[in-house]
Structure 1
Amino acid sequence: MDEVKSAATIAEVERELRYISGIIKQKGREILKNYPITTPQFIALQWLLEDGDLTIGEVSNKINLAFSTTTDLIDRMEKNLLVERKRDTKDRRVVRIHLLDKGKDIIQEVIEKRQDYLEDVLEDVSTDRVDVLYDILQLLHNQMKIDKEKNSNV
């Protein structure tokens, strides 16, 4: 059995993750100032890039916004030619949100700039330590997915 993890250590891990998340969000907002999209639009576009075409309901769930708010968000993105609504090929009643090239280009540029920032921050950290960091983050993410799946089946 693993040794018991101290509450203090868990608290420190949570605090560090919160600080890191805050810094990344702030840096992301700074980068987005140079683009014609808002933070919620960026998050929605990112999901569309990663998961492909989604319904408004699916986008709404992924970005944790009300359905009506997400509809307004999609309307604005469609007006700016970032996305388009398309009928599902298997079920014509279903409308999916499709990422257009302009939206894809913006997302890829922003993500690239975020990666450049992270590369600069980690410049003086050895490759081995960055690899260990990646392994630990991947482990944490996988454990969180397992927990989410377990709790969604309850």
Structure 2
Amino acid sequence: MENDLLGQPAQMEKLIREICSKIKSEGRKVLKDFDISPAQFDVMQIIYFRGPKMLSDISKRLGITKSTTTGIVSRLETMGYLTKEKSPEDRRVYMVNITQKGKNIIEEVIETRVKLIEKVYNKLGDKVRTIEILNEINKIMNETKLS
């Protein structure tokens, strides 16, 4: 019986990972229409959801080198999805921001993901309880220190 209980967190992690992967995969189908790589999209998402960022912040967040980040940002800037401007506080630092064209792609991906979730949601039995459970999981995860 104890082994069954120890396996439940692992099973929960696996289910959440699979669900997230399916949602992410569905949204990324939109990117094919714009010739944007998953790495480029990740950079755009960071800026869309967290506001303008320095190149070094983006690099740290994604766990990639600053030179790789610079290349991604330069390409997205050329494509009109991002802008790069000198920081008013420190002229040696560039801040990366998302353009309306970039925001439109993010919003289209979100809309695609929401449509998938809507299909799933409509098939659920106890919709209210499902949302309550997801909110509780999110709340606990936000409150829990992992290290």
User: Is TM more than 0.5 here?
Assistant: yes
- How many residue pairs are counted as aligned between the two chains? 143
Judging changes above 3 Å, is the alpha-carbon distance between structure 1 residues 140 and 22 closer, same or farther for their aligned structure 2 residues? farther
SS in 2 for 1:98: strand
Q: 1:56-109, CA deviations, whole angstroms, 9 ceiling, x for partnerless residues?
A: 111111222222111111011001010111111112111110111111111111
- How far apart are 1:19 and its partner, in Å? 1.6
Alignment match, 2:19: 20
1:6-45 matches, cutoff 5 A: 6-45=5-44
Alignment match, 1:91: 90
Alignment root-mean-square deviation, CA: 1.9
Unaligned runs of 5+ in 2: none
SS in 2 for 1:33: helix
- How far apart are 1:34 and its partner, in Å? 2.4
TM-score (norm 1): 0.82
Percentage identity across paired residues of the two chains: 28
Alignment match, 2:78: 79
State the alpha-carbon separation in 1 of the partners of residues 59 and 137 from structure 2: 26
Unaligned runs of 5+ in 1: none
- How far apart are 1:140 and its partner, in Å? 4.4
2:82–2:96 CA contact under 8 A, matched in 1: yes
- How far apart are 1:132 and its partner, in Å? 1.7
State the alpha-carbon separation in 2 of the partners of residues 115 and 137 from structure 1: 20
Matched, 1:138 2:146: no
Matched, 1:62 2:79: no
Judging changes above 3 Å, is the alpha-carbon distance between structure 1 residues 34 and 130 closer, same or farther for their aligned structure 2 residues? farther
- How far apart are 1:24 and its partner, in Å? 2.1
| One-letter code aligned to 1:134 | L
Alignment match, 1:119: 118
Alignment match, 1:101: 100
- How far apart are 1:138 and its partner, in Å? 1.3
